[in-house]
Chains A and B, each alone.
Chain A
Amino acid sequence: MLELINVSRKVGGEDHIIDVSLALDRGSLNVLLGPTLAGKTSLMRLMAGLDAPTAGKVVMDGKDVTGVPVRKRNVAMVYQQFINYPTLTVYENIASPMRIAGRPKDEIDREVRKAADLLQMTPYLDRTPLNLSGGQQQRTALARALVKNAELVLLDEPLANLDYKLREELREELPKIFAATGAIFVYATTEPHEALLLGGSTATLSKGRVTQFGETTAVYRRPDDLITATTFSDPPLNVLTVTKRGGRFSGPGNVDFAVSSRHADLADGPYRIGVRAHRLAFGGPHAAGFDVSVALTEVTGSETFIHAELAGRPLVALIHGIKRVETGDTVHLSFDPADILVFGEDGRAVSASAAIAA
């Protein structure tokens, strides 16, 4: 188990990582989700021992490894760029960490073939990386990380430079590959969708802090605060400012709807509610809703994104099917009041929404 205990890192007076505590189990897949500069790479470097924390401890299987440099730790890394030895064959590329470790020849051969098989690279073992596609190059790098038999494997946006469809294929395979090894996997990404496809656990990062850590779908459905909810929404989360008075939520933009039984116990006062784009429906199947003027529609073939503005804030709705609405049209969007995320003015999720089944 890898534990980070109150880890912080400052560089030249600038906070890169602020008070992060995480415990990652063996054989687990952990996603670090956050926008560029949220601290994903910095955190990975701390885990690997490439950087030392300015405060806090890094503990591996009960042993304090704070300050132990990366060479003495059993860590493998895969980067966004495809990093392979250009003159070596795929076979030699995969074998390289074992050759360095001076392992016996037959063991190397066995492990290389096993990893190549797992990543479907067996037909390409004799090629050099230059004669491979981007996807195959990244598979080679992944195989190399796997044969190292590292206890910690760090993947820094490994699919970002790949084509959309290749990403889709690898994403589907990766959890299976990870499950077959038993190492601790840490996977950084900027895309909420990718985190959900990978499953496992997710830690959301914002400005150097881990805002929440837990099972991926749990973090997605029950975010602890508004920042987590925003980080973990694609399309962006629609946030409305409302006031609860008696049995109704109301706010600017003619928002006014009955509070669902789930939130009935909340005290009266100001709240911020989050409605995910796919929770908004076209027209009025639901009780709660509002009229918006359409700024733009995007049709993807099976779905429609309706962009609008509500009370001066951008809003996006993901509607099933194809809706031809023109810019400037007024449309009614509705949602089920039970499907909303409710946050206090401070951005913390209110206790009642913890029960949300959203």
Chain B
Amino acid sequence: MARIRLDHIRHAYTPELAKADNYALREVDTTFADGGAYALLGPSGCGKTTLLNIISGLLTPSNGHVRFDDTDVTMLTPEARNIAQVFQFPVIYDTMTVRENLAFPLKNRKVPADEIQRRVADMLRRIGLEKKADRKARGLTADEKQKISLGRGLVRSDVNAILFDEPLTVIDPHMKWQLRSELKQLHREFQMTMVYVTHDQTEALTFADKVVVMYAGEVVQIGTPEELFERPQHTFVGYFIGSPGMNLLPCALEGGAAVVSGQRIALPASIGPVAAGKTTELGIRPEFVSLVPRGQGIPVQIDKVEDIGSERIVRARLGDTRLSAVLDEDREIPAEADVAFTQEQLNLYADSWLVARR
């Protein structure tokens, strides 16, 4: 296990692209702590897979260095880096049994036979495939195959890190729950450094201690799920995390209040000053928008109420700005209502970046 240091990493796929300043990764400079669970989250094309491949050694970055603890591994091959990787589609050795699949990386490393047997038996138990140990791997279901891929990584107790490239893509929703929680339990037991690439916020937030949100080749924010939810550093994070994403209301500032479509909304006193000439927006999560009787809040026009089972999503308009609110399943929704915002959860953005609090 190791701490992963990404030291000013930049990457362009060809020298021509680099010359045109067309970098797939603009600049990433961060450290993943030993034993931490990290998720790289972002839309397709944001550079998250590029970054993962740089960590695994399948790609050599155009600039910068990758260090595992204090060893510079930038130029090392994947096998020399001693990492494990789980891919989007389960990679298994078709002709081998489940047991042989798990033993394969150990055999290749000339681990003594009795040691292999002990570790494989232990891993079979942990991934719940004891009963199918001597079946050919190709006859198994997608989630079982993915468990084998995972087991092949974990069976080598000495790996520096385990990398996941959207590992739940081909798994059914019900199995996703099970696999995800098993993965977390395994992380807890083995305390390995894990890096998990996904575009699915639920997967990222539930898996990781720290989520790295990426956009257009850059890291926009690294934070705990809580931080990303409550204090998105950038409007993109607000939009990307949460379903529906954060409401963003263009606003003007007037004393200690934001003015949205002529309505004054008082801001928390701790929100810092904003330099003149910046575009300002008020951010509020739909979860922190509530409906109050007419005349007690900010008047809005309710367009639609979506019943999505456990919750209701109210789609409304404040002047010309669209606004969503998430309400509990059982709450009555009047046809005419005002909205109220939880003041402490208001965020102010200047030129898309969060205005810091004092």
Contact = CB atoms under 8 A, between A and B. Distances in A.
Direct contact of A and B (CB under 8 A): yes
Contacts of A300: 201-202, 205-206, 225, 229
Interface string B330-350: 100000000000000000000
A358 B228 CA distance: 32
Band of interface residues on B: 35 or more
Given A36-B142, A163-B44, A299-B225, 4 more contacts: A133-B44, A165-B43, A190-B172, A298-B184
A301 B174 contact: no
B306 interface: yes
A134 interface: yes
User: Which of the listed residues A35, A164, A358 has the most CB atoms from chain B within 10 Å of its own CB?
Assistant: A164
Contacts of A221: 309
Interface of B: 43-45, 142, 172-174, 177-178, 180-181, 184-185, 188, 199-202, 205-207, 224-226, 228-230, 239-245, 285, 287, 306-310, 329-330
B226 A322 contact: yes
A179 interface: no
B306 A301 contact: no
Given A168-B244, A196-B307, A305-B206, A163 B185 contact: no
A247 to B, nearest CB: 24
User: Which of the listed residues B224, B225, B245 has the most CB atoms from chain A within 10 Å of its own CB?
Assistant: B225
Contacts of B225: 299-301
A343 interface: no
A164 B199 contact: yes
A305 B207 CA distance: 11
Interface of A: 35-36, 133-134, 163-166, 168, 190-193, 196-197, 199, 217, 220-221, 234-236, 276, 278, 295-296, 298-302, 305, 307, 314, 316, 318, 322, 327, 357-358
Given A278-B310, A316-B177, A302 B206 contact: no
The 4 lowest CB-CB distance pairs between A and B, nearest first, are A301-B229, A298-B206, A301-B225, A196-B308
B43 A299 contact: no
A327 B189 CA distance: 11
18 contacts: A133-B44, A163-B199, A165-B239, A165-B240, A166-B43, A192-B309, A199-B307, A221-B309, A295-B185, A296-B181, A298-B180, A298-B206, A299-B226, A300-B205, A300-B206, A301-B226, A307-B181, A322-B226
B185 A296 contact: yes
Contacts of A301: 205, 225-226, 228-230, 241-242
A296 B173 contact: no
A327 B188 contact: yes
Contacts of B202: 300
B206 A197 contact: no
Contacts of A164: 199-201
A199 B306 contact: yes
Contacts of A322: 226
Contacts of A236: 174, 177
Contacts of A276: 310
A322 B239 CA distance: 20
B226 A168 contact: no
A300 B241 CA distance: 10
Contacts of B180: 298
B313 to A, nearest CB: 9
B43 A197 contact: no
Nearest to B143: A36
Nearest to B307: A217
A191 B200 CA distance: 14
B44 A134 contact: yes
Nearest to A189: B173
A133 B200 CA distance: 17
A300 B309 CA distance: 19
Given A190-B172, A298-B184, A278 B229 contact: no
A299 B210 CA distance: 11
User: Which of the listed residues A221, A276, A307, A357 has the most CB atoms from chain B within 10 Å of its own CB?
Assistant: A307
A296 B207 CA distance: 11
Contacts of B241: 301
Nearest to A278: B310
Contacts of A358: 329
A192 B200 CA distance: 16
A197 B306 CA distance: 7
Given A35-B174, A296-B181, A302 B309 contact: no
B194 to A, nearest CB: 14
Contacts of A302: 229, 242, 285, 287
A280 to B, nearest CB: 11
Contacts of A217: 307, 309
